Amino acid sequence: MSTQVLEPTNQELADLIDSKFREVREGTIVKGTIIEIRPQVVLVDIGYKSEGAIPSNEFEDEEIEVGDEVEVLLEKLENDEGMVVLSKEKAAHKQNWDKIVKVFLDGGLVRGKVKSVVKGGLTVNVGVEAFLPGSQVDIIPPKDLNEYVGNVYEFKIVKVNDERKNIVLSRREVIEAERAELRQQFLGTVKVGDKVTGAVKNITDFGAFVDLQGMDGLLHITDMSWGRINHPSEMLMIGQSVEVIILDVDREKERVSLGLKQMSDNPWEDIERKFAIGSNVRGKVTKLLPYGAFIELERGVEGLVHVSELSWVKRITRPSDVLELDQEIEAVVLGISIEEQKISLGVRQLEPNPWDEIEHRYPIGATIKGPVRNLTAYGAFVELEEGIDGMVHVSDMSWTRKINHPSEVLKKNDEVEAIVLSIDKGNQRVSLGLKQLEDDPWSHIDDRFKVGDLVKGTVAKIASFGAFISLDGDIDGLIHISQLSEDHVEKVKDVIKVGDEVEARVIKVDKVERRIGLSIKAVNYSEADLKKESASFESLRPSSEMVGLEQAFNLAAAAAEEWSPSDED
């Protein structure tokens, strides 16, 4: 018995093939054969009832021939023209995307080429286009992203958005991972005392960070030089290669301390022998400050000349007034502190101190001559020699006059004679006197003025409490306001004025206190009345009238004030 085999019709066969392709191949990558290469398109046969046309520019980076097998993405089995829709680029993109996703899930790295600079970072071709944020380009964010364009690097994929087909990369994480591995290797082998070479990575006020095989070591400013430096940038610059020594390793905290000065011998170890106290040394001025000048004696060793040690007598306010940077000078070692690494120097000690034998040049009682260099409220400074002045206090300008300000007697640049009264070498003071050039008229005042004498004089000054009268012999007497008239006087100027010639009677002579009291109202008193007035006058103490007179004399006397050389300016 024969079995009849039914052959499928052409339509049934086509429907079968069509359903098979629709089930498994639309949207998938299939293999096809190039059957024709035209100027605009390349025809590819994937074994379906019609071939597909792919734009020629999708093959522009490849050399192809008829018969070559290619992988393409089957986008659609049939378009409106009945042709299969294929894409080689989309096939490559899909393949690359799938690889990227797999690398991302596996935590691996991907290589890519930087294409261009965009807002916020770079675009990178890793088979598909990806974004590299500027903050993820390097450990230190770069100043110019254009330096990276065209370069090939390895990246870590940090984010994948399958829906938007976005990929975010990081090169920084790759570098940090590499550095972490190198850091562990370095920490596992390095020890204190090892010499290592690194590149200066960063500079701060307190030191510099040096990149050592994947880890940063700190080179503190105090370990850069045996000498004094104000900022690490004086010795180092970013990117500079430097050999240093390991001072300390903290493996738990992954910290390394470095030293640069320890690469050479400590010049302070034998400092007292090289620069003995009292010895003369030479050096170069390296820094000028308001309080002094730093002098480099040898590499890593500096001394300080304080401004006060520059001259015995010159008034130097700033070292820069007499010294210049890089100037070679000679000095004397005054002191050494090894612990603080400080050397005190002096320049003035190179010459004798003119104050040491000042009393031989200006013995007490000697008469000197010199110009008035300066006036102050309490006296005048007279130049004895360059840098050495003597001072005439207002109280030593006149035996008889009440000098309130030296300008009443002297003016600047006047050439004057004076007597040396005293010398204070410790405080560098010489006291002078003008009045001592003449005898003290008060020593024989009793021979010139007695109570009851009628005298004439000129009103020199007026005060609220009375009037000062200039008498013969340049001696002043005081008429208290109570002695101007028998009548009550409200204001002195209502009765007399400066320049008036007056006649008065002496009612008091105090040799000890150097005071002469005068009275106008007692001019016409009889001897009996005068005695009565004098007795009455003396009996006022300590009444308000007498107190007023005492205060008048006290106000007229110049107060003895302290002075020092620094006051004269």
Task: Determine the average pLDDT of the residues in 263-269.
Answer: 79
Overall pTM > 0.75: no
Q: Is the pLDDT of residue 307 over 60?
A: yes
Q: Is the pLDDT of residue 77 over 90?
A: no
Give CATH 2.40.50.140 domain extents, the chain. Answer: 21-92, 107-175, 190-263, 271-349, 358-437, 444-556
3-state helix, strand, coil in the chain (%, to 5): 25, 35, 40
Q: Which residue has the higher pLDDT, 456 or 105?
A: 456
For the segment(s) 21-92, the CATH number from 3.40.50.300, 2.120.10.10, 2.40.50.140, 2.40.10.120 is: 2.40.50.140
CB atoms under 10 Å from CB of 253, counted, come to 7
358-437: which CATH topology?
OB fold (Dihydrolipoamide Acetyltransferase, E2P) (2.40.50)
Return the CATH number of the domain spanning residue range 107-175.
Answer: 2.40.50.140
Lowest mean pLDDT among 340-349, 355-364, 558-567: 558-567
In 3D space, the residue among 177, 187, 173 whose CA is nearest the CA of residue 216 turns out to be 187
In 3D space, the residue among 283, 276, 289, 275 whose CA is nearest the CA of residue 329 turns out to be 283
SS (H, E, C) 386-424: CCEEEEEEHHHCCCCCCCCCHHHCCCCCCEEEEEEEEEE
Task: Determine the average pLDDT of the residues in 117-126.
Answer: 87
Token output for 314? 């010159």
Structure confidence at residue 89 (pLDDT): 64
H-only helix segments in 107-195: 172-189
Return the CATH number of the domain spanning residue range 444-556.
Answer: 2.40.50.140
Specify the DSSP element, H or E, that contains 99.
helix 88-106
Structure confidence at residue 15 (pLDDT): 57
Say if residues 52 and 46 touch (Cβ distance below 8 Å): yes
Token output for 447? 């021979």
Structure confidence at residue 563 (pLDDT): 40
Q: In the structure, what pLDDT confidence band is assigned to residue 557 with cuts at 50, 70 and 90?
A: very low
Lowest mean pLDDT among 164-168, 309-313, 420-424, 539-543: 539-543
Q: In the structure, what pLDDT confidence band is assigned to residue 268 with cuts at 50, 70 and 90?
A: confident
Q: Which of 55-59, 214-218, 240-244, 560-564 has the highest mean pLDDT?
A: 240-244
Task: Determine the average pLDDT of the residues in 419-430.
Answer: 90
Q: Which residue has the higher pLDDT, 269 or 73?
A: 269
* Averaged pLDDT of the chain: 81
In 3D space, the residue among 111, 118, 227, 97 whose CA is nearest the CA of residue 164 turns out to be 97
Specify the 3-state DSSP secondary structure of 551: helix
In this structure, whether the domain defined by 271-349 belongs to CATH 2.40.50.140 is answered with yes
CATH architecture of 190-263: Beta Barrel (2.40)
Per-residue CA distances from 522 to 25, 141, 170, 452, 519 (Å): 145, 102, 113, 9, 6
Token output for 77? 């089995």
